[in-house]
């Protein structure tokens, strides 16, 4: 599966329909950690805390491509893999706000000749995202989460005169794989909350530095 297809599918799903939550309603991400679930990935050494009530659509995105990836992330295959795809509400549910989403994917670095660092992936990422109507929101920057330094790129897209969709993608080059952590929400504050749920520490407690 190509990351281009993964991300475009997510952007279409989130852009086409909004979550059922009404403006001003309580955000599910604000619930206590006891109400959340923890996704663990031992291959790349990260964790993601899933807010209570969020919908897991990982398998659905994995099945988008007719040829599913059969190799492990360390096999050197040029195919990619959706590691986690979660939505605040089912993508089919209509509503008045952006249906926040988190998509974590891996893709072989060999898919991009000449790619030597996470920053080299920003070109293809910018091409994919701007093709769906997003605009860059500031310059890319480095962000440190626990012991890892990732490249962060921010984008935004106006859906109507009152609603704007924000996207932040963090990129990490690890074990010859491109790891992309894409967060979509209706505000910059919520983007920050979603990123804070990502951890590379053994305790699973995120610590982010701008």
Mean pLDDT per 10-residue segment, the chain (210 residues): 57 48 40 66 95 90 58 47 90 78 91 90 89 92 94 94 92 92 95 96 55
Task: Return the CA Rg of the chain.
Answer: 16
pLDDT score recorded for residue 160: 87
pLDDT score recorded for residue 80: 77
Cα distance between residue 141 and residue 128, in whole Å: 19
The tally of domains found in the chain comes to 1
Where in the sequence is the domain holding 87, given as residue range(s)? 3-209
91, with CB counted inside 10 A (0-12, 13-18, 19+), is buried
Q: How far is CA 148 from CA 80, 118, 130, 189, 207, in A?
A: 21, 12, 27, 22, 10
pLDDT score recorded for residue 17: 41
CATH of the domain at 41: 3.40.1000.10
Residue of 153, 157, 154, 188 whose CA lies nearest to 172: 153
pLDDT score recorded for residue 36: 64
Q: What are phi and psi of 84, to 5 degrees?
A: -155, 135
């Amino acid at each position: 599966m190509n990351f281009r297809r993964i991300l475009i599918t997510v952007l279409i799903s989130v852009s086409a329909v909004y979550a059922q939550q009404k403006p001003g309603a309580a955000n599910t991400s604000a619930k206590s950690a006891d109400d959340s679930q923890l996704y663990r990935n031992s291959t790349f050494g990260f964790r993601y805390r899933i807010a209570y009530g969020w919908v897991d659509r990982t398998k659905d995105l994995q099945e988008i491509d007719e040829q599913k990836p059969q190799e492990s992330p360390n096999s050197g295959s040029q195919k990619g893999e959706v590691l986690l795809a979660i939505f605040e509400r089912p993508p089919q549910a209509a509503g008045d706000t952006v249906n926040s989403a988190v998509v974590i994917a891996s893709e072989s670095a060999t898919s991009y000749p000449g790619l030597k660092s996470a920053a080299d992936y920003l070109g293809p990422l910018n091409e994919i995202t701007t093709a769906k109507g997003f605009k860059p929101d500031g310059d890319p920057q480095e962000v440190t989460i626990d012991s890892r330094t990732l490249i962060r790129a921010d984008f935004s897209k106006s859906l109507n005169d009152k609603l704007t969709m924000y996207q932040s993608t963090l990129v990490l080059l690890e074990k010859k794989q491109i790891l992309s952590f894409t967060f979509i929400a209706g505000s910059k504050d919520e983007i920050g909350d979603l990123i804070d749920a990502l951890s590379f520490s053994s305790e699973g407690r995120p610590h982010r530095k701008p």
